[in-house]
Amino acid sequence: MGAEPGTAVPASHSAEVAALRDSYARLPAGSPVRLAKTTSNLFRFRDPAAGPGLDVGRFNRVLGIDTAAGTAQVQGMATYESVVDALLPAGRIPMVVPQLKTITLGGAIAGLGIESTSFRNGLPHESVREMEILTGDGSVVVARPDNEHAELYRGFPNSYGTLGYALRLEIELEQVQPYVRLRHLRFGTAAECAAAIAEICRTGSFDGHPVDFLDGTVFTASEQYLTLGSYRPDAPPTSDYTGQDVYYRSMRRRQTDHLTIHDYLWRWDTDWFWCSRAFGVQHPLVRRFWPRRYRRSDTYRRIVAWDRRTGLTDRISKLRGLGGNEPVIQDVEIPVERLAEFLEFFHTEIGISPVWLCPVKLRDGQGWPLYPMDPDALYVNVGFWSTVPLRRGEAPGRYNRAIERVVGELDGHKSLYSNSFYEEEEFWRLYNRPSYQRLKERYDPDGRLPGLYDKCVREK
């Protein structure tokens, strides 16, 4: 099956799909299938040799751009960095561009994504018009909201490669301007910050000026900032946060700022939000000698993966007479009216800072069954990525389980890209087992791909 007239797919892509189907058919029956790829933004670190690898590396291109229709045909393994590079010369970007350069479009659809346009454009999968998917049974289908694979179209988001892999996506595009003007607003309480989020999202403006981008940073219970971005055709001299200056620190010392649209989209990638400080990269002397080409999120993640494999940090901690550390790397969606409650719990019981805030409201009133957010509600994504010290002899899981419990109590939702600790019954209550099971039975009846609970919880 292919795209309808007007959305022609190059013959080279069709040949690649045929070759991939043949490769899939040759993989040993009964063995779990995994993608063989060089980058990942998941934080479930597993044995890289587990299971045969399916080479999808060739599916990494932008196949075509239709500026009149405001759409593009993009292969599933294309990174957002490469997609932005292809689209920006035409004055376009995807409707939502996740923060990290090596996130792939297929990954953001199957595993969810978010960014500062999400308060008006929803989540990345909501601007996908059709998905070409290699399913678990080896078929290649095109899923749209109005065809015989509509249930797969709805159920693919948050399936994490357990139903199939996205080979091609038709996505909607947003027209952009060359610059973004930033305003950093400080709030003394989480309640004041949440009220401002709700009002800005309701009106799409602040002080009579349109707001095109909205996210926030929480440093302490009494110091939080909302960053409001607005498109601009021109700007005074722009800031550069790929050099000595660190982006997130700037909001504490300046109320306004200007960036090119390219640098705005990747403002968080250079220092992996604030996580580069763990490697000393924010120290002026270290930063001067750390090559700029390695100031990237994928570099830092490789360092973390190496540390997880070797256990070096925990061994050093224990040699110093301390307990280990529990990784607490999560994104959760909290209803805006419960945000202050969640942050009060988080400051008291977890203690990680800074914390990222990103408002999101679904564009689609029908909803997405495997991540069942209320289409009528405004949520705030709260992101936190660090470790919490454990007592000697204490096993990891205590803090993550506490977060899972409170997120549930506040009618929130938790992304599954990192470790989860749910019991199986609770997991399926939250992530819609009946809908998932129907899709699994139809598109992967022999279970060649792992199940969602096995992949997201059991595999640690």
- Whether residues 148 and 188 share a domain: the answer is no
- Tell me, yes or no, whether 144 lies in a domain: yes
Please report which confidence band the pLDDT of residue 48 belongs to, taking 50, 70 and 90 as the band edges: low
pLDDT of residue 5: 38
pLDDT of residue 17: 95
pLDDT at 391 over 90: no
- Tell me, yes or no, whether 72 lies in a domain: yes
- Tell me, yes or no, whether 132 lies in a domain: yes
- Whether residues 159 and 42 share a domain: the answer is yes
pLDDT digits (tens, 9 = 90+) for 235-265: 999 999 999 999 999 999 999 999 999 999 9
Token pair of 305 as six digits: 């993966």
- Whether residues 21 and 150 share a domain: the answer is yes
Q: Among 213, 248, 267, identify where a domain stops.
A: 267
- Whether residues 166 and 202 share a domain: the answer is no
- Whether residues 104 and 200 share a domain: the answer is no
Predicted TM-score (pTM) of this structure: 0.93
- Tell me, yes or no, whether 278 lies in a domain: no
Q: Which CATH number do you get for residue 373?
A: 3.30.70
pLDDT digits (tens, 9 = 90+) for 155-196: 999 999 999 999 999 999 999 999 999 999 999 999 999 999
Total of domains in the chain: 3
pLDDT at 347 over 70: yes
pLDDT of residue 37: 65
Q: Among 267, 297, 328, identify where a domain stops.
A: 267
- Whether residues 64 and 146 share a domain: the answer is yes
Phi/psi at 127 (5° precision): -110, 20
pLDDT of residue 47: 56
- Whether residues 85 and 157 share a domain: the answer is yes
Please report which confidence band the pLDDT of residue 43 belongs to, taking 50, 70 and 90 as the band edges: low
Please report which confidence band the pLDDT of residue 396 belongs to, taking 50, 70 and 90 as the band edges: confident
pLDDT digits (tens, 9 = 90+) for 283-323: 999 999 999 999 999 998 888 888 778 877 777 777 776 77
Please report which confidence band the pLDDT of residue 360 belongs to, taking 50, 70 and 90 as the band edges: very high
- Whether residues 46 and 144 share a domain: the answer is yes
- Whether residues 342 and 355 share a domain: the answer is yes
User: Mean pLDDT throughout 327-355?
Assistant: 97
- Tell me, yes or no, whether 289 lies in a domain: no
pLDDT of residue 74: 97
Percent of the chain with pLDDT over 70: 94
- Tell me, yes or no, whether 123 lies in a domain: yes
- Tell me, yes or no, whether 115 lies in a domain: yes
- Tell me, yes or no, whether 299 lies in a domain: no
- Whether residues 163 and 18 share a domain: the answer is yes
Least confident of 226-240, 273-287, 294-308, 437-451: 294-308
pLDDT of residue 75: 97
Q: Which CATH number do you get for residue 122?
A: 3.30.465.10
Domain residue limits at 315: 311-421
Q: Among 267, 282, 302, identify where a domain stops.
A: 267
**Mean pLDDT across the chain:** 92
Q: 420 and 456 in contact (C-beta within 8 Å)?
A: yes
pLDDT of residue 44: 57
pLDDT at 3 over 50: no
- Whether residues 223 and 347 share a domain: the answer is no
- Whether residues 317 and 223 share a domain: the answer is no
pLDDT of residue 38: 63
pLDDT of residue 328: 95
pLDDT digits (tens, 9 = 90+) for 60-108: 999 999 999 999 999 999 999 999 999 999 999 999 999 999 999 999 9
